[in-house]
Amino acid sequence: MHQALSQLHAEGTSLRHWVVRARLAEAPGPVPGVVVCPLLARHQITQAGIANERVSSCVGGFEVPGLCLLAWFGGTGQVRVDGIWHRCRPGEAWMLPFSAPLTFRNDQPSGWNCCWVCYERPPREPRLAALTAPMVSNFEAKSLYCAIMGLVQACQGPALPTAIHHWVELIQSYVLNLLGSNWQDDRLRRVWAIVEQDLARPWTLAELAHEGHLSPEHLRRCCQHDLRSSPMRHLTRLRMHRAAELLATTSEKVASVARMVGYQNPFVFSTSFKRWMGWQPSAYRRGSSTILSF
Answer yes or no: same fold for 9-180 and 186-226+229-286.
no
Q: Are 292 and 33 in contact (CB under 8 A)?
A: no
**Per-residue pLDDT band at 28 (split at 50, 70, 90):** very low
**CATH classification code of 9-180:** 2.60.120.10
Residues 6+ apart with CB under 8 A from 249: 1
pLDDT of residue 218: 92
Q: Report the alpha-carbon distance of residue 116 to residue 47 in Å, rounded.
A: 8
Q: Report the alpha-carbon distance of residue 171 to residue 61 in Å, rounded.
A: 22
Query: Per-residue pLDDT for 32 more than 70?
Result: no
DSSP-H helix ranges across the chain = 126-129, 141-156, 161-180, 186-196, 205-211, 216-226, 231-249, 254-260, 266-277, 281-286
pLDDT of residue 183: 53
Question: Stretch 185-209: mean pLDDT, rounded?
Answer: 90
pLDDT in tens, 245-254: 788 788 999 9
Query: Per-residue pLDDT for 10 more than 80?
Result: no
- Percentage helix, strand, coil, to 5, in the chain? 40, 25, 35
Report domain extents, the chain. Answer: 9-180, 186-226+229-286
The residue ranking higher by pLDDT, 170 or 29, is 170
Q: Report the alpha-carbon distance of residue 34 to residue 183 in Å, rounded.
A: 33
Q: Report the alpha-carbon distance of residue 117 to residue 50 in Å, rounded.
A: 9
Average pLDDT, the chain: 79
The vertex-260 CA angle with 130 and 230, nearest 5°, equals: 45
DSSP-H helix ranges across 88-136 = 126-129
Query: Per-residue pLDDT for 266 more than 90?
Result: yes
What angle separates helix 141-156 from helix 161-180, to the nearest 10 degrees? Answer: 160
Query: Per-residue pLDDT for 209 more than 50?
Result: yes
The residue ranking higher by pLDDT, 27 or 198, is 198
Q: Are 234 and 192 in contact (CB under 8 A)?
A: yes
**Per-residue pLDDT band at 292 (split at 50, 70, 90):** very low
**CATH classification code of 186-226+229-286:** 1.10.10.60
Question: Stretch 236-259: mean pLDDT, rounded?
Answer: 89
Query: What is the three-class DSSP state of 232?
Result: helix
The residue ranking higher by pLDDT, 274 or 16, is 274
